[in-house]
């Protein structure tokens, strides 16, 4: 358990807990107007039998001249709000099989903050927010995540926005990504402005999410980080760019100019996209180019719409040359690896997705989602990247860490991903029970790796408010250093139980490392049990 | 040499696959065009430029309703009369001659989940079948929103800066309210009349119609509607499952009338499965002031978000 380098954050945790205590005193309590609350008991004679008519006539000229207030509901500033949960309990881990000297065999008292958010609005147009997740034991912080933003508006369309984050999560307790050491990042810093409400500008570092795919988005050329396969919708880092947007009703023309990233003028790039909405379909035509051709020029076409009961989407990218640095075994010195690039051949990337869902008034629901991806810039046989020396050769080919990551991500040519979910509802009242079975799976056919996560959930009470039991088993199958099983064969059965609106939360997981013949190599267990005594709504 | 041959073979393979992908993609587009093809929206002149052009209502829908003569005695209503009455309520809930904007408060009370309060702003341009919703409260979700124009519907997540398509059938905020409740009602098209009776709700005499869905796109296969005949406004709707289990009861307890349009400004939803669970939607302010065109664009949704 690598937590030693986080001891310096102990005071931060103490301050956070102090702020929590003080914030509890300051927090604005909910002031929902009684006239907007649903009645405690439905009495039709009371609802429709009052002395006043249920219809209020408003003069047309009055309504068209401005806003007519129907219920007194005026917000007063400053506003200070807290939401999220805080709890305390036990956290521990144990390695019954394959333990080494460094394996943890521990039991701690622990504090857990989950989605704890502080919002401060001194005026209507100024908003400061800090949210945090934290898992701390007496002498260490096991995982911490803090995000903060400031939204400073002059008007709806003109503002300064800044957002940053800190993440530390070496064993992925709080996220699906591992942050081995504390990492600060400036997520966004931009200015929004406009001309005559016709042309809109966003200038600065910003997240840009191109593409309509879910697990694979080859057209998302401006994002700087890869899609997390276990959390495909998570926010991704974007570039410093100038965006010009010209909406034409539902159609849009967007132009992005990315200023030089290396201090050299020819490292600048430009991208443009036109969204066309026609007959229930959204079609996007885009192009991208970078002056120094470090990233290859490409033409993009994406579409999304429906065919019958199916939602359909697709992305198609045509590149001239590949961005990727490839590796192969040296023909002159066998056992060593050399890198090369391909700059004078066309490449094609294409993905197609289908979604279907049905929901019945009986409570039965079913959904399915399938996405296939052909990645022309990938290796037909990506197993070469499972050789450590080959990976090292790729990493040593550049000092650009983002490029290193991209060269070792989505390395295959053929991918398939999908998910499905079936849910049923039983009983009523306090015993209302929702049972859901679901699974998602991803496969890289070019390196023979895959991962899947079946999940079974029983939720009792309204939205599982009384109790929710979830069983899951995230499993990765493939050779070490493969895309979807980077640590080799591994399966992680897990159980979570939340009771009384998650006031009581139990988590148990047992990551099992398997050998290539699927015999058990190492078994770890981790568990936590928390009483989330503080819940801010 | 062998490596070079392998690389060349790989590129050849890539090119062949590229061509195959293009052919497959072309087929998808052709099927897409066929699937979405169809007659232009209705209208006397064959085009879609009329006031209802955006939502593809049956030919003569408005004209037929405008001239329809309802019985003076509510006990003499026929199934067709009631269907026309439902049509009238559908049309009168819309603003075809102006834009409409409002702030909506929604409070949900659940025995297990406690009390949750949301607030949103909505912007409607019914003549274009355009609808924009922006979350105002809670602060942690401010800026999330949804834009619908015709059958194009987008949701926006300000965290990832991503727009996604969604459907009108989605449950709204994990409550008993569906997105369809914020759309102009089209029950007169989606349902047929099974049975009629009369009764009273408090001070008001109502016609009670039992309706059955004629397609499976609607969230509830059976409805029981209580309509006040004088002003032709809906006071209560019971929504049933296929097995006639009462799933939800909606009460429309306050209206505002602006011109010929009626807006239910207080709506109470009683869950049928959990007796202690209910929610109330309240319009806290309303306006028919003209809205800028850019309100009904994805760009605006992105701008006003966090």
When CB atoms are compared, the residue of A119, A198, A376 closest to B14 is A376
Residues in chain A with CB shorter than 8 Å from the CB of B112 are 430, 461-466, 501
- A457-486 pLDDT, tens per residue? 999 998 888 999 999 999 999 999 999 999
- B210-258 pLDDT, tens per residue? 999 988 777 789 999 999 988 889 999 999 999 999 999 999 999 999 9
Instruction: Give the residue with greater pLDDT, A229 vs A444.
Output: A444
Query: A359–B169: do the CB atoms touch at under 8 Å?
Result: yes
**Res A231: pLDDT:** 86
When CB atoms are compared, the residue of B109, B239, B288 closest to A63 is B288
**Res A32: pLDDT:** 54
8 A C-beta contact, residue A351 and residue A375: no
Mean pLDDT of the A345-357 span: 94
Beta-carbon contacts of A101 under 8 Å, excluding residues fewer than 6 positions away, are none
Mean pLDDT of the A293-305 span: 92
- pLDDT tier at B46, thresholds 50, 70, 90: very low
Give the chain A residue nearest B304 (alpha carbons): A156
Residues in chain B with CB shorter than 8 Å from the CB of A117 are 140
CA distance A71 to chain B (A): 5
Q: Give the β-pairing of A490-499 and A504-509.
A: antiparallel
Query: A362–B242: do the CB atoms touch at under 8 Å?
Result: yes
Residues in chain A with CB shorter than 8 Å from the CB of B36 are 279-281, 305-307
Residues in chain A with CB shorter than 8 Å from the CB of B15 are 346
Query: B284–A465: do the CB atoms touch at under 8 Å?
Result: no
Q: Does B213 touch chain A (CB under 8 A)?
A: no
> Residues 171-190, chain B: which have Cβ within 8 Å of A?
174
Query: B110–A308: do the CB atoms touch at under 8 Å?
Result: no
Query: A537–B115: do the CB atoms touch at under 8 Å?
Result: yes
Ramachandran sector of residue A101 (left: φ over 0; alpha: ψ -120 to 50; beta: rest): alpha
CA distance B100 to chain A (A): 9
Instruction: Provide the residue count of chain A.
Output: 537
> Residues 58-77, chain B: which have Cβ within 8 Å of A?
none
- A498-529 pLDDT, tens per residue? 999 889 999 999 999 999 999 999 998 989 99
When CB atoms are compared, the residue of A36, A329, A374 closest to B107 is A36
Instruction: Give the residue with greater pLDDT, A436 vs B50.
Output: A436
Select from A60, A277, A250 the least CA-distant residue to B293: A250
Query: B152–A39: do the CB atoms touch at under 8 Å?
Result: no
8 A C-beta contact, residue A216 and residue A371: yes
**Res B187: pLDDT:** 79
ipTM value = 0.83
How far is residue B130's CA from residue A104's CA, in Å, rounded to a whole number?
58
Question: Among A271-275, A351-355, A398-402, B25-29, whose mean pLDDT is lowest?
Answer: B25-29
8 A C-beta contact, residue A287 and residue A298: yes
**Radius of gyration from C-alpha coordinates of chain B:** 24
Return contacts of A278-284, CB within 8 angstroms, 24+ apart.
A279/B36, A279/B37, A280/A305, A280/A306, A280/B36, A280/B150, A280/B151, A280/B152, A281/A305, A281/B32, A281/B36, A282/A212, A282/B152, A282/B165, A284/A210, A284/A212, A284/A219
Domains of chain B: 92-304 (2.50.20.10)
Q: Does B127 touch chain A (CB under 8 A)?
A: no
Q: Give the β-pairing of A55-58 and B246-258.
A: parallel
- B92-113 pLDDT, tens per residue? 888 988 999 999 999 999 988 8
> Residues 105-124, chain B: which have Cβ within 8 Å of A?
105, 107-117
Query: A235–B277: do the CB atoms touch at under 8 Å?
Result: no
Q: Does B136 touch chain A (CB under 8 A)?
A: no
Beta-carbon contacts of B255 under 8 Å, excluding residues fewer than 6 positions away, are A54, A55, A56, B233, B262, B263, B264, B265
**Res B185: pLDDT:** 59
Q: Give the torsion sign (CA, A358, B86, B255, B99).
A: positive
Q: Does B233 touch chain A (CB under 8 A)?
A: yes
- B159-214 pLDDT, tens per residue? 888 888 665 444 444 444 444 555 555 778 889 999 999 999 999 999 999 999 98
Query: A156–B140: do the CB atoms touch at under 8 Å?
Result: no
| Tokens 């949804």 sit on residue | B146
How far is residue B33's CA from residue A278's CA, in Å, rounded to a whole number?
10
Residues in chain A with CB shorter than 8 Å from the CB of B18 are 346-348, 350, 376
When CB atoms are compared, the residue of B1, B36, B275 closest to A281 is B36
When CB atoms are compared, the residue of A49, A312, A347 closest to B14 is A347
Query: B203–A238: do the CB atoms touch at under 8 Å?
Result: no
Query: A37–B107: do the CB atoms touch at under 8 Å?
Result: yes
Q: What is the DSSP letter of B139?
A: G
CA distance B69 to chain A (A): 23
When CB atoms are compared, the residue of A197, A275, A329 closest to B292 is A197
Query: B284–A70: do the CB atoms touch at under 8 Å?
Result: yes
Average pLDDT, chain A: 89
Query: A197–B142: do the CB atoms touch at under 8 Å?
Result: no
CA distance A369 to chain B (A): 14
**Res A135: pLDDT:** 93
Query: B258–A63: do the CB atoms touch at under 8 Å?
Result: yes
Beta-carbon contacts of B270 under 8 Å, excluding residues fewer than 6 positions away, are A42, B176, B248, B249, B250, B251, B277, B278
Query: B112–A374: do the CB atoms touch at under 8 Å?
Result: no
8 A C-beta contact, residue A324 and residue A340: no
Query: B149–A131: do the CB atoms touch at under 8 Å?
Result: no
Question: Among A1-10, A102-111, B77-86, B257-266, whose mean pLDDT is lowest?
Answer: A1-10
8 A C-beta contact, residue A241 and residue A189: no
8 A C-beta contact, residue B124 and residue B95: yes
When CB atoms are compared, the residue of B18, B32, B201 closest to A305 is B32
Instruction: Give the residue with greater pLDDT, A171 vs A59.
Output: A59
CA distance A103 to chain B (A): 37
**Res A230: pLDDT:** 83
CA atoms within 13 A on the CB side of B178: 20
């Amino acid at each position: 358990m690598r937590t030693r380098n986080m001891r310096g954050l102990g005071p931060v945790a103490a301050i956070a807990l102090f702020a929590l205590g003080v914030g509890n005193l300051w927090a604005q309590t909910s002031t929902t107007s009684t006239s907007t609350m649903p009645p405690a008991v439905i009495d039709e004679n009371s609802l429709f039998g009052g002395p006043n008519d249920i219809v209020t006539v408003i003069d047309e000229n009055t309504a068209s001249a401005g806003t007519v207030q129907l219920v007194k509901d005026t917000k007063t500033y400053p506003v200070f709000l807290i939401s999220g949960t805080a709890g305390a309990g036990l956290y521990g881990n144990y390695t019954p099989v394959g333990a080494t000297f460094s394996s943890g065999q521990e039991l701690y008292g622990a504090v857990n903050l989950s989605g704890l958010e502080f919002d401060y609005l001194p005026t209507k147009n100024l908003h400061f927010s800090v949210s945090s997740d934290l898992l701390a034991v007496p002498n260490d912080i096991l995982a911490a995540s803090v995000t903060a933003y400031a939204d400073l508006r002059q008007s709806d369309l003109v503002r300064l926005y800044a957002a940053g984050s800190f993440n530390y999560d070496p064993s992925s307790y709080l996220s699906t990504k591992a942050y081995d050491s504390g990492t600060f990042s400036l997520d966004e810093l931009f200015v929004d402005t406009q001309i005559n409400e016709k042309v809109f500008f966003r200038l600065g570092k910003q997240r840009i999410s191109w593409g309509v795919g879910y697990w694979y988005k080859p057209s998302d050329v401006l994002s700087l980080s890869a899609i997390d396969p276990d959390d495909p919708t998570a926010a991704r880092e974007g570039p410093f760019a100038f965006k010009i947007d010209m909406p034409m009703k539902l159609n849009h023309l967007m132009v992005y100019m990315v200023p030089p990233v290396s201090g050299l003028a020819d490292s600048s790039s430009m991208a443009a996209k036109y969204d066309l909405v026609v007959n229930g379909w959204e079609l996007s035509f885009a192009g991208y180019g970078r002056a120094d051709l470090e990233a290859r020029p490409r033409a993009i076409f994406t579409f999304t719409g429906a065919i019958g009961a199916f939602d359909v989407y697709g992305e198609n990218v045509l590149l001239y040359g590949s961005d990727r640095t490839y590796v192969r075994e040296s023909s002159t010195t066998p056992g060593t690896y050399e890198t090369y690039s391909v700059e004078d051949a066309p490449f094609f990337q294409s993905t197609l997705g289908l979604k279907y869902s049905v929901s019945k008034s009986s409570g039965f629901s079913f959904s399915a989602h399938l996405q296939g991806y052909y990645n022309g810039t990938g290796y037909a046989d990506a197993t070469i990247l499972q050789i450590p020396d080959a990976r090292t050769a790729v990493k040593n080919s550049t000092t650009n860490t983002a490029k290193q990551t991209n060269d070792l991500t989505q390395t295959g040519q053929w991918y398939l991903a999908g998910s499905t979910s079936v849910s049923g509802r039983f009983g009523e009242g306090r015993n209302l029970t929702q049972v859901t079975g679901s699974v998602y799976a991803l496969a890289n056919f070019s390196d023979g790796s895959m991962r899947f996560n079946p999940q079974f959930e029983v939720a009792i009470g309204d939205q599982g408010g009384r109790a929710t039991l979830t069983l899951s088993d995230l499993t990765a199958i493939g050779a070490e250093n493969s895309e979807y099983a980077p640590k080799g064969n591994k399966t992680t059965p897990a159980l979570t139980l939340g009771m009384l609106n998650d006031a009581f939360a139990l988590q148990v997981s047992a990551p099992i490392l398997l050998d290539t013949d699927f015999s058990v190599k190492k078994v770890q267990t981790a568990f936590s049990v928390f009483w989330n005594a503080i819940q801010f709504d | 040499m062998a490596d070079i041959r392998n690389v060349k073979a790989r590129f050849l393979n890539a090119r062949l696959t590229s061509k195959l992908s293009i052919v497959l993609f072309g087929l998808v587009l052709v099927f897409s065009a066929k699937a979405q093809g169809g007659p232009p929206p209705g209208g006397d002149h064959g085009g879609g430029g009329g006031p209802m052009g955006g939502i593809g209502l049956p030919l003569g829908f408005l004209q037929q309703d405008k001239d329809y003569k309802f019985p003076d005695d509510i006990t003499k209503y026929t199934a067709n009369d009631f269907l026309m009455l439902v049509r009238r309520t559908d049309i009168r809930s819309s603003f075809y001659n102006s834009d409409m904007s409002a702030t909506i408060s929604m409070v949900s009370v659940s025995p297990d989940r406690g009390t949750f309060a949301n607030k949103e702003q909505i912007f409607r341009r019914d003549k274009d079948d355009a609808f924009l919703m922006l979350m105002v409260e809670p602060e942690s979700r401010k800026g999330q929103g949804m834009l619908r124009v015709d059958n194009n519907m987008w949701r926006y997540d300000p965290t990832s800066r991503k727009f996604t398509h969604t459907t009108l059938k989605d449950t709204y905020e994990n409550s008993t309210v569906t997105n369809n409740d914020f759309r102009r009602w089209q029950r007169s098209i989606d349902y047929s009349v099974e049975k009629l009776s009369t009764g009273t709700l408090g001070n008001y005499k109502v016609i009670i119609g039992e309706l059955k869905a004629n397609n499976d796109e609607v969230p509830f296969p059976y409805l029981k509607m209580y309509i006040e005949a004088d002003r032709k406004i809906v006071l209560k709707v019971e929504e049933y499952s296929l097995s006639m289990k009462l799933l939800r009861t909606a009460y429309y307890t306050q209206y505002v009338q602006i011109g010929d349009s009626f807006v239910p400004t207080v709506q109470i939803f009683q869950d049928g499965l959990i007796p202690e669970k209910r929610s109330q939607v309240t319009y806290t302010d309303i306006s028919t002031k003209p809205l800028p065109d850019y309100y009904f664009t994805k760009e605006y949704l992105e701008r006003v978000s966090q």
